[in-house]
Amino acid sequence: MPKLKTAEDLIQYISVYLDTDVLDKIIKGSKYYELKEKLPPEQWQEVSKVIFWDINRPLSYNALFNFIIGNRGGGKTYGAKRHVIKRFLKTGEQFIYLRRYKDEQADVGKFFNDIQSEFPEVELAVKNKCFYINGQLAGYALVLSTAKIKKSVPYPDVSTIIFDEFIIDKGVYKYLHDEVTCLLELYETISRCRDVQIFFLSNAITVTNPYFLYFNLHMPYNSTITCKNDILIELVANPFFIDMKRHTRFGKLIEGTAYGDYAINNTFLRDNKTFIEKKTGNCAFIFSMMYKGQHLGVWRSYAQGKFWVSADIDNSSREYALTKSDHTPNTLLLTSLRTSAAFKSFSDAFQNGYLFFETQNIKNICYEIMKMYFRY
């Protein structure tokens, strides 16, 4: 295979074997496994190494919790499947494929369809929500929403969990109540004091999700990967994959749009930097609030005519609890947001464009709060 320096080189290399329209259709539908079926085996192996996510990089850090976020169609799920199949064939260690709701496992019978041709001598099958490799039990398909009934079920041979689409897009499903605790309880049921790795996989939807909030996680800065305290975060941003999608007809069609930035450039679909700004100057503390376990402080600069929402709070002041589950002896339950003068000034600042947020997470949380406020 010639040395590939650009996406054009890669496309030109593949187009020797495929019609251009066929190639474009494959990329548009993110059905890259079809390349494997249409290219000669040796060419496919080389192309897949260049285009898709390589699980060996996060594996080299040996972290327990691995959050893998990246381009739609970038090979995250495929790479995780390949890893657990190879691991079972080598060591006999099993895996769990986890989704949030039962409906999301409806098509689990097709789990091996896109990868079977990579293992032509291996029998891959799904029966009764279980995965079999060469006739032997290799894994389980589980649902997080019903995981509590599995507390007494042992999984002594499971070494890997794949939690697919752990970040939810708006208008699709909802996160479970106290979801992170549900996940941790399931993890403890499976691990039983063993080191079991989880791969949390998602497209780049938003940085505001229960897991990042619970563990206080942030995307890597000036890097694509970070690892601390047994938690790894990788932003999958393969330049070949990005450029290859950009040079397709579909990529050109959506170029410059919000969806194009998400599908091609790996920009978070529901996040933007508007109104994100650090507070400056002499700011007065107005009040603090708790929403879904998150403490937020509201600050005001009278000189600049601006409000900011920050993680900084004045502990000497009372705090408003916005939901009953947040209410503690040290908080005031704000049962009707519209009766509060403090919230009135807060909402006025939001509506008039002089409310700012110190981080993307804080902004997204405050947008949820304002939706709740305007419903009352």
- Whether 348 and 309 have beta carbons less than 8 Å apart is answered as no
Task: Please report the pLDDT score of residue 199 as a whole number.
Answer: 98
pLDDT in 10s for each residue of the chain, 376 residues: 556 555 566 667 777 766 767 666 666 555 555 666 677 767 766 666 666 788 999 999 999 999 998 876 678 898 999 999 999 999 999 999 999 999 999 999 999 998 998 899 999 999 999 999 999 999 999 999 988 776 678 899 999 999 999 988 766 678 888 899 999 999 999 999 899 999 999 887 777 778 887 887 877 767 789 999 999 999 886 655 555 556 567 667 656 665 555 454 555 545 456 778 888 878 999 888 888 888 899 999 998 889 999 989 888 777 888 777 777 665 566 665 566 777 788 888 877 788 888 887 788 788 778 766 655 4
Q: How do the domains of the chain map onto residue ranges?
A: 53-237, 284-375
Whether this model's pTM surpasses 0.85: no
Provide the angle, in degrees to the nearest 10, between the axes of the packed helices 7-15 and 239-246: 70
Closest of 143, 169, 152 to residue 270, by C-alpha: 169
In degrees to the nearest 10, what's the CA dihedral of 270, 263, 162, 106? 90
CA distance 330 to 303: 32
Residue type at 26?
I
Which two tokens mark 124? Answer: 């891959």
CB within 8 Å of 280: residues ≥ 6 apart: 301, 304
Which two tokens mark 99? Answer: 């989704």
Task: Please report the pLDDT score of residue 245 as a whole number.
Answer: 59
Residue type at 302?
Y
Which residues is 164 bridged to in the sheet?
201
Which two tokens mark 32? Answer: 């890259």
Question: What is 53-237's CATH superfamily?
Answer: P-loop containing nucleotide triphosphate hydrolases (3.40.50.300)
Task: Please report the pLDDT score of residue 376 as a whole number.
Answer: 45
Give the neighbor-by-neighbor strand order of the sheet with 294-301.
331-333, 319-321, 284-291, 294-301, 306-310, 355-357
User: Phi and psi at residue 160, in whole multiples of 5°?
Assistant: -140, 140
Place of tokens 């649902």: 143
Closest of 161, 152, 149 to residue 98, by C-alpha: 161
- Whether 75 and 115 have beta carbons less than 8 Å apart is answered as no
- SS3 (DSSP) at 366: helix
CB neighbourhood size of 149 (10 A): 7
- Whether 311 and 295 have beta carbons less than 8 Å apart is answered as yes
Is 56 buried (19+), middle (13-18) or exposed (0-12) by CB count in 10 A? exposed
Task: Please report the pLDDT score of residue 348 as a whole number.
Answer: 83
Which two tokens mark 189? Answer: 């049921």
User: Phi and psi at residue 79, in whole multiples of 5°?
Assistant: -65, -35
- Whether 165 and 102 have beta carbons less than 8 Å apart is answered as no
Residue type at 118?
E
